[in-house]
Amino acid sequence: MANVSLRHVYKIYDGGVTAVTDFNLEIADKEFIILVGPSGCGKSTTLRMVAGLEDISKGELYIGDKLCNDVAPKDRDIAMVFQNYALYPHMTVYDNMAFGLKLRKMPKEEIKRRVGEAARILGIEQYLDRKPKALSGGQRQRVALGRAIVRDPKVFLLDEPLSNLDAKLRANMRTEINKLYQKLGTTFIYVTHDQTEAMTMGTRIVVMKDGFIQQVDTPQHLYDLP
């Protein structure tokens, strides 16, 4: 059964820009899908439609068995990690990670357990009382990942999560995200314009160009890897 299914999906922005044209993709449970392509080809728009942050102009989005075109973001079984971290500057790392769960009125003990576990997985336990400005870029991105993990979603959406990091840290975080994927065993959809990330991270790669899917294949086939 496909975990996420996009069927003949289009996005036409107000003003008439067609950002995504006839996007068709069946994503199986526990796949790690990479959406790759040059800037402006529609990757982010596609991801944001899955998240519910953009309306779908035409076509259908299923998450699990459920038609989700009109389902609010908070009622989709997803969590999204953004390029710019989107952390709350006035809150501690703990509160940043706990915030979404508090909104959902989860019991305090359960919140504590989930934040603790996510912090352990990401190696940020010692920073829980700090504010984001007292963290490095890599640590902030871990907190952003942690905030998504605590929600225990079925699908992770990541929009260029490493592009604000320097080259060395990017290489480390590629490995970290691969490990995270192995550990969590959930579906990942990951947007990047970086060939190296595409080659080293996904189980299947979707190459986009001008709003269309150009090619879908494994990294081995696409990049002639051993």
* Among 7, 95, 99, 184, interactor with ligand ADP by CB under 6 A: 99
Q: Is 4 in the site for ligand ADP (CB under 6 A)?
A: no
Contact region for ligand ADP (CB under 6 A) — 33-41, 62-70, 182-190, 198-206? 33-41
Q: Is 9 in the site for ligand ADP (CB under 6 A)?
A: no
Q: Is 73 in the site for ligand ADP (CB under 6 A)?
A: yes
Q: Is 139 in the site for ligand ADP (CB under 6 A)?
A: no
Residue closer to ligand ADP by CB (options 63, 78) is 78
Residue closer to ligand ADP by CB (options 135, 144) is 144
Q: C-beta of 169: minimal distance to ligand ADP in Å? A: 21
Contact region for ligand ADP (CB under 6 A) — 98-106, 117-125, 135-143, 163-171? 98-106
Instruction: Write a three-state SS string for the chain.
Output: CEEEEEEEEEEECCCCCEEEEEEEEEEECCCEEEEECCCCCCHHHHHHHHHCCCCCCEEEEEECCEECCCCCHHHCCEEEECCCCCCCCCCCHHHHHHHHHHHCCCCHHHHHHHHHHHHHHHCCHHHCCCCHHHCCHHHHHHHHHHHHHCCCCCEEEEECCCCCCCHHHHHHHHHHHHHHHHHHCCEEEEEECCHHHHHHHCCEEEEEECCEEEEEECHHHHHCCC
Q: Is 71 in the site for ligand ADP (CB under 6 A)?
A: no
Q: Is 223 in the site for ligand ADP (CB under 6 A)?
A: no
Q: Which residues bind ligand ADP (CB under 6 A)?
A: 13, 15, 17, 19, 37, 39-45, 73-74, 78-80, 99-100, 103, 147-148
